[in-house]
Structure formats: structure tokens, C-alpha cells
Structure 1
Amino acid sequence: MKHLNKLLVAVTMVMGLSSQAQDSNNKWAIGFGVNAIDYRSSAGDDFMSHFDQPFKVSDNWNILPSVSYLNVSRYVGSGFIVGVTGSINQIDKFVTAPNVVVNPGDLMYYGIDATLTYSFMELLKSKVIEPTLSVGGGYTFLGDESYGTVNPGLGLNFWFTENVGLSLLGTYKKSFGDRQYAGTDTPDAPSYTQYSAGLTFKFGAKDTDNDGIYDKDDACPEVAGLKQFNGCPDTDADGIEDSKDSCPDVAGLAALNGCPDTDGDGIADKDDACPEVAGLPALKGCPDADGDGVTDASDKCPTVAGPASNGGCPELDSDKDGVIDKEDACPTVAGPASNKGCPEVTEQVLEELKVQARAVYFVTGKAILATADKGATDGRLEAIKEILKNYPNAKFAIEGHTDSTGSAKINQKLSEDRAKVVMDKLIEKGVNPANLTSAGFGSSKPVADNKTKEGKALNRRTEIRHVGSVYEGKL
């Protein structure tokens, strides 16, 4: 049993080494099974006598009915494999002379062998059948004796899967030494033939991303991918691997590096400023209906050609005032260039505003338009609106004023509210709110003597100011 311990220690050491090198595609293998030993080689020096009765199993072979060998091997490249095998058997058929078989008693056999094997699998380009040719050396422990051997061998493996196969091996072990074995007449260390059959498991391959492609052959070992792309992914399944796909998350065209072209204008959506409408490359995929070089989205006149400097519109002067529309703040109303094409407020207009404004009245002491003549009041506000809308670039300030009756605080609030009422009414009628402001000044800016009834009536007023001009209306 001391030799069995040696065998187990040796195999354990080899397996320990294998666990440190499992970093390539299935370069390691472990096999186990049964072995048979034929000692016809001990019957003489005739080499062929070793094989003249190869299949007399019951007469010549020693077979231990259990797992009796263990092999660990590593592929080193170019079809070559190195391995170590440990085997055990019990010898009860020992051939001492031609056709003379004796039972030497409880004679235990232990063997440990190192082998260099050449596999013809790559040469044959087969994935199932693997013939092998091997040579190596080992050490045999037979009873209390031991000796070395030289071991040529032939093998054949059948692979059920990439990693699992049936292994058959025949090895002739030529011995060296001079021993006398109990129960035999054999003075020399006996040569013998050993046969084995068992299962082999290849391992060591690493597939980090579990895509079925080993890391060594996987161009993207940490991301699951496809075999046709060497393990790299094609997320959008457009037939272009992600690393070469400019739009990896959206299926697209090979001609556009995997990007889609929704409008079919030959410009990838990611580069197309108008991806749903066919357009021109020069305009980043946007259309230009009038062909003036300005995209329809930016063209103020998309159906009429015009220069970009004019927003794509022709150099029009709709109101014929000598100011082209693009520079005319009032393109539909004639006015001088000095006032950006808008009409200027004339003395006649100022007088008309003054007349209308003076006729706007409020309920005494309140910011409520007088209802006694509601139609007339609304007509005056309408007239003021019609005047103001002709001057779209003019700014007007509506100011409220009171006489000195009552407290200053009440008069201030009343003047502010009345000015705002007039402004709100004009806005309701369509005057641009951006052109109007309102403010109240209470009784702080009288225009007449508050000591007389007539003076107080003049001080209760609304003023509409335009660039320093004042239009007064009676309050």
C-alpha cells in the first residue's frame, strides 16, 4: 500500500498544477476509467510474442473491476499534448513461458507515467474522431519491486461533445532492470502491454460573457455577442456589429454605418436636422421648396425665393414707403425711414387724441367709467384705439390725475386705478399691450387752481403721452 500512497500524492500534485493554468480554450483534460495489463512480454524476448494473442482476455489480461487509472493532460500546441497517468491493478495472470500462465498471488501493480502525445485531430480536421500516437516513460511498482519503462502507444478518442469523449489506448511498456518476482521464474523486470478505456473531460476554457465563444477567440469577451462577429454584439440586429455601428441601438443601413434614414434622403437621422422630411445634404437634410438656399423652417417666405439676408423673402416694400419690409417696423402702413417705416404722430392726430381723451368720464370718486353715456364713452375709447393702432412702434403712457379733494393717499390710489382702467379697455380693443403703460399721480400735478370748481374739473383728467406730447381727457 505504500506505493499506492506514492501514486495518489503524485496525481494530487499534477492536479494542483493544472488548476493554476486553466486559462485557455480547453487545454486541460482529465480522464479516468479501467486498465488491463497483459504480461505475455515476460515469456521471452520475441517482441511479436507480446501481441500474438492480443484478445485472449480471460487467459492473459489482468483487469481490476473498478476505476483503475487517472490521467491529467495539457495541450501545448501544434497537436502535441503532455500528460501524467497513474494506474493501479492486481496481477493474477503472469505469463512465465509461452502459453504458461501462473498466479503469483496477491501481487499489486502501481504505475505512474509521463507521456508526450501527438493528436491527428487537427490534421484530419475532425471534431469527433481523434487518433493519437504517444511516447513517454514511467515507473512501475510491482509487489515490493520497482523499475522504469519506455512507453510507445497508440490511441483513439471519440468525442461525444466538445468536452466529453471516450478514450481508448494501448501502450507497450518496455522495462529495464533485473528482478526476481515471487512465484515466478522470471529473472528480468517484465515488459508488458497495458490497455485502457475510459472517459476524458476537456476543460479550462473561459467564456466570461457566456455567449458560447471562448475568451481567446472572443473579440468582445465581456459582452455577449454573436459568432459571426467574433463574439461582439449587434444590439439593434441590423447586421452591423456595435463597434462599427454609429447607431448601435437603432436598426439602420449599412451604407449609413448602421444608422436609419426615415425620410429616405440619404442622410442619417442622427445628422438630419429634418429627419422626417426629405431634404438636401447642403441644408443638413432639410427641404428648400423655393430653392433660395434657406431651409423652409427658417424661410419667412418658403414658397417665394429670396436672399438669406432677408429671411428667404424677396426684397418687398408692401406699403411703398421706400423702406423694405424686412426693415420696416410697419410694413403695411407707410412711414418715413427715420421712423423705421412707421407713420409719425402729427399735430392733427395729437389734437384728435386730445378731443377724444377729454371726453372720457368716470363715476365721481371711483375708478369706474361713467354709465350715463356708456355708448358715447365706448365710442371715444374705440376712436382712441383706432388712432393708436396706426402707430405700432409708438409708445404711449396713460396717466391718471385728480383734484385736491380728499386725502393724498386716496387720490393717489384713485388716479392709478383710473389710468389702468383706460389702459385695460384699450388692450381689450386690440391695442398692443407692449405699447402701453399706466401710472397715477394723484393731485401732485395740477394744471389749474384747485380752489375753484372750474380748476378742479380741469385737474381731474387722463393724459396720454407720446414722446413728450400730452393728450388730456377730462375725468
Structure 2
Amino acid sequence: MKHLNKLFVAALLATGLTAQAQNEDNPWALSFGVNAVSNRFGASSEFGDQFTHFFKTDESWNVLPSVSYLNVSRYIGSGFAFGVTGSVNKIDKLVSRAPGTLDYTVYNPGDVTYYAVDGIIKYNFLEKSWFNPYVHIGGGYTWMDQQGNGTVNGGLGINFWFTDNVGFTVQSTYKHTFEDQATANVPRHIQHFAGLTFKFGGKDTDGDGIYDKYDECPDVPGLKQFNGCPDTDGDGIIDKNDECPDVAGLKEFNGCPDTDGDGIADKNDACPDVAGPKSLQGCPDKDGDGIADKDDKCPDVKGPKENAGCPWPDTDGDGVLDKDDKCPTVKGTAANFGCPEVTEEVIKKLNEYGKTILFNSGKASFKNETMPVLNAMLAIFKEYPHAKFSIEGHTDSDGSDKLNQKLSEERAAAVKQFLVEGGVAADRLESKGYGESKPVASNKTAKGKALNRRVEVKLVKTE
């Protein structure tokens, strides 16, 4: 019996993972549970008396307290299903009636082993409801110890569906034998069943809940409203009809976007983020010189096409034409686009200052004694009014990663704010925090931790 229980559990695990509603899409069902056997019904001579003790389980029901039946069935259409049931039990209560009387005796026949194999044809009512009654007929063979008889069966059952694929089933089956009940190997009896039912068998290759027979895209998960086809970008156009399936777009552009609203789909727009005429492939021409801004090195000033739309002056005389000079009124170098160079020595000096910035413990506020350091840094930043810098905050490993990351970001931002308030243009500065992720020394010593608590300054290269 222990091995039988293991078999039932294995069957449950094998089917419970793939169970679906039993119909023409999911035709298979597996049921298992407990059964009870009573011959009180068959021993009665009067029809009305056959039901008087139907629910008195302690009087005539034989119940094996274990998984004791298994049913496998297949849906065959129009509400009908065919299946086979195997069951076992122990009979320690039999009811006999003295001929010509209504006197009944319940006796123990000696723990008789009961086996049965039955075919069953069911007709289901209310198939789409959670409450699913059915009637059934069939036949089979039943053994009590070594003696057996064929039976003709019929009865009623109900499925209570918890989900589309899992339900609780109760069933009562009357098993009729045509032998004399006084000498029959197996007396007429009722067998009751109660257990769980799992339904399975449908094919859904992509696992999107839509069976392959209804799925227009059976190999890739999709949505029910699109018959199983995906709409990755959620624009209401299924991927197979969408020329831009990864980005939401418009129906008139076959699912592609027109970000700048200039009537040219982004995929055909050379400047998708800013509106422009079709003659320039969707790119603007702010100065009206006939050169698209993306190709015009001086988009705000008219210039000749042969000079890429720029005029020729060099106001500061540094050899860099104004069209290429990011600092046209201050002499610089061509390598730095006409602006003064920020040397490595300058960056090194800024970082030496950055290492000495003192913050209040666990906070992004400065200690009073660090103000001269910050003012010295401010003076250097003002010497290079067109250079861009990155302020980076770092911490030691004390505290959690999350808190250190937050603290490093706040401290870098605090330095940036000080510089902005001191007159440095905000668009020249960016701040970042790296927490404890980039140590320059060991966090196992106080000296190493002090070195790791730092602010670094880096020059942002521009093109």
C-alpha cells in the first residue's frame, strides 16, 4: 500500500504542472483519493429502505484511510468522457438480511481485500461552471479476496472546480451483480469516491495561455486580444505587422514613432528628435542657409556651404575659427577647441584639495575648517570658465553599501552646489557618487579608510 501511495503522489507531480481544462483542447483528466464500500443498499429488499442508512458511515461503510483509487479519463466530445478506475479497499463490515424479514446484521467477514477495475462513461452538465454535476454508467470486475464477479455500474458525481485545472470530485456508484445475494462472491454494493481531479493535455508551445490551435503566433508568447501574438512595444500593433516592434509608434507609420511630430517616421528621419522639413530628411535649418543643422557647424549663423555653414572670423586670434572655437573671445589651443587647456598639474592640485575636504561624520555638510580648501578650489575652477568637470564622491567601507552609495552622491553634490553658488556655471559641473566601490587604500586600517574618504575632480573631455 505504501508503494501505491507513492505512485499516486508521483502521478500528481507529473500532471499538476501541466494541467489545463478538460475539453477538446485539454482532453485528459487524472483523479485520485479515497473510496468507501457499503453493501447496505444491495441487501435491502424494499427500495425506500435502501437509502435509510446511506450516510451512517460507522454502521456499514468500509473505508481505507489512504489514497485508494485512481481514475484516468479522456474527453471524447459533446460532454462525454471515457475513463478507467482502479480501486482497493479492506472489507470489515458486511450487511446481511434474514430472508423474509427486515432484520439486518452487520458482521466482519475477516478483513477481506477488495479490488476493482471499472470502465466508466460520464456525461457532464454545466461544463463551464465551477459546479459540474455528471451521471455515469459502465461496468467492470470486482474481487473480494480471490473471488470475483462482473458488475454493471451507474451513478452520480459532482466536480467542484477550484481553478480551471484543479477540482474536488465526489461520486457514488452502484455496482450490480446478477447472482443470488445469499451465495454471491461479490454482493451488490455502492462504492463512494472523494478526491482531487487534475486536467491536462492541451498544447501551448509558447506558454502564453492560448492553445496552439487558436494561437496565430504559437512559438512566441503573446496576448489574448491579439490571438496569441505579441505586441512588444504596447502600441496596439502586433509585432509581425509592426515595422518598429521594440518602440511604440503610430498606425499611420506601421507602428513606428514620429518623435518630433514632423510627419516623418523616426526610422526615415535623419533628425528624429527635432522637427525639420522633408527636403532635409526631417532635419531643421535654424539659420536658413540651406544646410541642415546637423551638417551645419554654425547652425545659428549663416555661412557658406563650402565652409560647412560657418563664417570665417577668428575673434580671439588663437588660430581657431569662431565656428570651431568654443571660447571665441579667449585665446586657447586648437586641441581644446579654442579654449585654454586644463593641465594635468591643475587636475592634480584640485584632487589634492579634494582629499582634504572634511565633512561632518555620516553627513554631507562641511566642517568649518574645510572652507579655505573649498575656496581655493573655487578660484581654480573660475580660471577655466569653459572647461567641464566631474565631481566624484567616495567613502570607506564602514556602513552598508546602500548608505555609503547615498552618502557619496550627497557629498559630491554638496561640493558641486558650493561651486555653483560661488559662480561656476552649473552646466559645467556634474556630480557622481561611487560609495565604497573604488577604494585607493585598504579599508582595514584607519589610515586607509581616511584615504578612501575623498572627493576627486576629473576633466570632462568635450568634442
Distance 1:71 1:117, change over 3 A: same
**CA offset digits 1:49-72 (Å, max 9, x no partner):** 332221111111111121111111
**CA offset digits 1:334-386 (Å, max 9, x no partner):** xxxxxxxxxxxxxxxxxxxxxxxxxxxxxxxxxxxxxxxxxxxxxxxxxxxxx
Please state if 1:207 is matched with 2:212. no
**For the Cα contact (< 8 Å) 1:91–1:108, is it kept in 2?**
yes
Please state if 1:79 is matched with 2:79. yes
Distance 1:110 1:245, change over 3 A: same
Q: Distance in 2 between matches of 1:177 and 1:219?
A: 58
Q: Distance in 2 between matches of 1:77 and 1:297?
A: 72
**For the Cα contact (< 8 Å) 1:111–1:140, is it kept in 2?**
yes
**CA offset digits 1:183-232 (Å, max 9, x no partner):** xx445852211111111222223333233434344322211222332321
**For the Cα contact (< 8 Å) 1:218–1:231, is it kept in 2?**
yes
**For the Cα contact (< 8 Å) 1:116–1:136, is it kept in 2?**
yes
Moved over 4 A (4+): 22-25, 186-189, 271-276, 283-289
Q: What residue in structure 1 maps to residue 59 of structure 2?
A: 59
Please state if 1:108 is matched with 2:105. no
Q: Which runs of 5+ in 1 are unaligned?
A: 2-6, 180-184, 290-295, 299-475
Please state if 1:158 is matched with 2:155. no
Q: Which amino acid aligns with 1:81?
A: A
Distance 1:288 1:187, change over 3 A: closer
Please, which moves more after superposition, 27-36 or 230-239?
230-239
Please state if 1:132 is matched with 2:134. yes
Q: Distance in 1 between matches of 2:280 and 2:232?
A: 27
How much has 1:88 moved relative to structure 2? 1.0
**For the Cα contact (< 8 Å) 1:236–1:248, is it kept in 2?**
yes
Q: Distance in 2 between matches of 1:216 and 1:174?
A: 43
**CA offset digits 1:399-456 (Å, max 9, x no partner):** xxxxxxxxxxxxxxxxxxxxxxxxxxxxxxxxxxxxxxxxxxxxxxxxxxxxxxxxxx
Q: Distance in 1 between matches of 2:187 and 2:202?
A: 41
Q: Which amino acid aligns with 2:120?
A: T
Q: What residue in structure 2 maps to residue 423 of structure 1?
A: none
Q: What residue in structure 1 maps to residue 227 of structure 2?
A: 230
How much has 1:288 moved relative to structure 2? 12
Distance 1:173 1:285, change over 3 A: farther
Q: Distance in 1 between matches of 2:46 and 2:68?
A: 29
How much has 1:271 moved relative to structure 2? 5.0
**CA offset digits 1:222-258 (Å, max 9, x no partner):** 1122233232111222222112222212210133331
Q: What residue in structure 2 maps to residue 193 of structure 1?
A: 190
Q: Indicate the SS of the match to 2:193.
A: strand
Q: Distance in 2 between matches of 1:174 and 1:78?
A: 28
Q: Which amino acid aligns with 1:259?
A: C
**CA offset digits 1:19-50 (Å, max 9, x no partner):** xxx99743222111110111013324434433
Aligned pairs, number: 269
**For the Cα contact (< 8 Å) 2:262–2:282, is it kept in 1?**
no
Q: What residue in structure 2 maps to residue 255 of structure 1?
A: 252
Q: Indicate the SS of the match to 1:228.
A: helix
**For the Cα contact (< 8 Å) 1:34–1:198, is it kept in 2?**
yes
Q: Distance in 2 between matches of 1:76 and 1:101?
A: 42
Distance 1:284 1:187, change over 3 A: same
Q: Distance in 1 between matches of 2:54 and 2:206?
A: 50
Q: What residue in structure 1 maps to residue 312 of structure 2?
A: none
Q: Indicate the SS of the match to 2:116.
A: strand
The root-mean-square deviation of aligned C-alpha atoms, in Å, is 3.6
Q: Indicate the SS of the match to 1:215.
A: coil
Which is greater in Rg?
1
Q: Indicate the SS of the match to 1:58.
A: helix
Of 206, 216, 219 in structure 2, the residue corresponding to residue 219 of structure 1 is 216
**For the Cα contact (< 8 Å) 2:143–2:186, is it kept in 1?**
no
How much has 1:284 moved relative to structure 2? 10
**CA offset digits 1:245-303 (Å, max 9, x no partner):** 222122101333312123424443345577554546xx7976999xxxxxx679xxxxx
Please, which moves more after superposition, 85-94 or 37-46?
37-46
How much has 1:145 moved relative to structure 2? 2.3
**For the Cα contact (< 8 Å) 1:113–1:136, is it kept in 2?**
yes
Q: Distance in 1 between matches of 2:215 and 2:32?
A: 31
How much has 1:169 moved relative to structure 2? 0.7
Q: Distance in 2 between matches of 1:135 and 1:279?
A: 79
Q: Indicate the SS of the match to 2:42.
A: helix
Distance 1:69 1:188, change over 3 A: closer
Q: Distance in 1 between matches of 2:280 and 2:210?
A: 42
Q: Which amino acid aligns with 1:206?
A: K
**For the Cα contact (< 8 Å) 1:178–1:189, is it kept in 2?**
no
Q: Distance in 1 between matches of 2:231 and 2:110?
A: 69
**For the Cα contact (< 8 Å) 2:276–2:284, is it kept in 1?**
no
Q: Distance in 2 between matches of 1:176 and 1:285?
A: 92
